[in-house]
Amino acid sequence: MSNTLSAILRAVEYIEDNLQNPVAVGDAASEACYSLYHFIRLFEGFTGHTPKDYILRRRIAEAASELRQNSKKIIDVCFDYQFGSPEAFSRAFKKIAGISPAEMRKCGYYDSKQLLSRIDEDSIRHVENILETPVEEVFLDAFNLAGVVNLIRSDKKIIEEMWGFLANELKRFPETGRTFYGLSFWPDDYDVGGFYLMCGCTVPSGFEPSGPLCMKNIPPSRYLKFVHKGDVRTIASTYRYIFETFLPKSDYRLTKAWDIELYKGSGGTEILIPFG
């Protein structure tokens, strides 16, 4: 580990230990043994966030977790995480989480993809790999997928089983230059506690599935294309970068409740996020 990365991680640890205490960016810079000027630029270069933004987003993430898991009063959580007033807390919370603290407490749900996880050495190195390939805007015409669908909650082992099941089912059909996709989509009813995943492949127009296979038509759309490199089992780290770092700092509007993974073998996995 480089001395600079080690210094940034010391600053992160200091910030994490003091989310419920007054903490200034200058204090974190001192912990890293850098001047304030250089620390701010180094921190953003390594993490994708300014120190001030990281502190705010981490406080909101931890506050959301507390509001969901216990019955502590909203105003107490507000002051615990160093917000000056309930109004300031509510504004910041809604801007980052998409709903107000009261709304989240009432429904018991929040979209964790919009909340920033603690940054560690692995996530920093992963961001460096992602940034090697620039994000692209691409357009895809409509296409058809045939595959199997299941509700995914905490147990991800079922995903490997789905791909194995699909491979067996496809043996009954002639090979037609298939391209394999993972289609994730979210229901309107978030009470299901997960998301739906379709493990599928492209099929020609007029294809009629049989047995447990189902069909999905993907409409023509514009996408942001990210490239995940390495083992597909670590793809969650790339999604965290997309939803916790890249999108919150961009002007892109996500209007569709689904995304796509395109498997390219040794070329990595393309993550396609529709925007519109």
Residues 141 and 240 in one domain: yes
Predicted local distance difference test score (pLDDT) of residue 207: 81
Residues 270 and 154 in one domain: yes
CA distances from 159 to 25, 151, 153, 218 (A): 42, 10, 11, 21
Residues 145 and 270 in one domain: yes
Lookup result for tokens 């089912």: 169
Residues 57 and 140 in one domain: no
Residues 143 and 68 in one domain: no
Per the structure, the count of domains in the chain is 2
Residues 161 and 227 in one domain: yes
Predicted local distance difference test score (pLDDT) of residue 188: 64
Predicted local distance difference test score (pLDDT) of residue 107: 75
Model-level pTM? 0.68
Residues 196 and 94 in one domain: no
CATH of residue 115's domain is: 1.10.10.60
Residues 79 and 140 in one domain: no
Q: Does some domain include residue 128?
A: no
pLDDT tens-place values along the chain, 276 residues long: 678 889 999 999 999 999 999 999 999 999 999 999 889 988 988 888 899 999 999 999 999 999 988 889 999 999 999 999 999 999 999 988 888 999 888 876 666 677 888 998 888 887 777 777 889 999 999 999 999 999 887 777 889 899 999 998 888 877 777 899 999 987 665 455 678 899 999 988 778 888 889 999 999 999 999 998 877 777 888 888 888 888 887 889 887 888 999 988 777 899 999 997
Residue 149 in contact with residue 196, Cβ under 8 Å? yes
Residues 260 and 191 in one domain: yes
Residue 16 in contact with residue 58, Cβ under 8 Å? yes
Domain boundary among 119, 152, 167: 119
How is residue 113 written in tokens?
């993809």
Predicted local distance difference test score (pLDDT) of residue 114: 75
Q: Does some domain include residue 37?
A: yes
Q: Does some domain include residue 130?
A: no
Domain boundary among 119, 151, 174: 119
Residues 144 and 265 in one domain: yes
Residues 141 and 87 in one domain: no
Predicted local distance difference test score (pLDDT) of residue 90: 96
Q: Does some domain include residue 50?
A: yes
Going by C-beta distance under 8 Å and a sequence separation of 6 or more, which residues neighbour residue 33?
7
Show the domain range for 153.
136-275
Residues 146 and 249 in one domain: yes
Predicted local distance difference test score (pLDDT) of residue 261: 95
CATH of residue 271's domain is: 3.20.80.10
